[in-house]
């Protein structure tokens, strides 16, 4: 359970940072995601197995943060997309090991779920 909350934190950090760079500094979504992902890749961990997993979660969060700013304007929306994205990341960890596009697909599905849930509210 501790690993889940750690990954949730890094997903949220990636998503929030990317969204913040877009809205407050006017940086393009691609450059914001690349910047946050690059900075996140320099973070070192004591266990080498967790290193790749956490870096992947940061990048998935960055990709989710590339969503249109009007969808991520509130912190509760960023929390919700991060929770959905982390749940999807955990549920697909064993199934899509080694396939390309996994992180972008997770971000797309979590952003799409956020948009659908916002329509229901």
Label residue 8 by pLDDT band (50, 70, 90): very high
The mean pLDDT of 32-56, rounded to a whole number, is: 77
Taking the C-alpha atoms of residue 94 and residue 13, their distance in angstroms, rounded to an integer, is 24
6 phi and psi angles, rounded to 5 deg: -65, -45
The mean pLDDT of 2-14, rounded to a whole number, is: 91
- % residues pLDDT > 90 (the chain): 55
Identify the residue with better confidence: 40 or 81. Answer: 81
pLDDT of residue 56: 87
Examine the pLDDT at 116 and tell me if it is beyond 60.
Answer: yes
CA 90 from chain centre, in angstroms, equals 13
Range of the domain at 85: 2-120
Residue 99 burial (CB count, 10 A)? 9
pLDDT of residue 27: 93
pLDDT of residue 48: 52
Q: What is the mean pLDDT of the chain?
A: 87
Label residue 111 by pLDDT band (50, 70, 90): very high
Torsional sign, CA 27, 85, 96, 54? positive
From the number of C-beta atoms within 10 Å of its C-beta (0-12, 13-18, 19+), residue 27 rates as middle
User: Nearest to residue 85, comparing CAs of 72, 99, 98?
Assistant: 72
Question: What predicted TM-score, i.e. pTM, was given to this entire model?
Answer: 0.88
CA 115 from chain centre, in angstroms, equals 15
The number of distinct structural domains making up the chain is 1
């Amino acid at each position: 359970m501790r690993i889940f909350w750690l990954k949730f934190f890094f997903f949220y950090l990636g998503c929030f940072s990317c969204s913040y760079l877009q809205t407050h500094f006017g940086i393009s979504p691609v450059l914001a995601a690349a910047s946050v992902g690059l900075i996140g890749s320099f973070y070192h961990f004591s266990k080498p197995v967790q290193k790749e997993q956490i870096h992947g979660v940061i990048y998935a969060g960055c990709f989710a943060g590339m969503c249109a700013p009007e969808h991520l304007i509130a912190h509760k929306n960023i929390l919700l997309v991060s929770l959905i994205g982390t749940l999807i990341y955990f549920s697909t960890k064993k199934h899509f090991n080694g396939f390309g596009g996994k992180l972008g697909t997770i971000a797309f599905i979590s952003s799409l779920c956020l948009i659908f849930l916002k329509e229901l509210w």
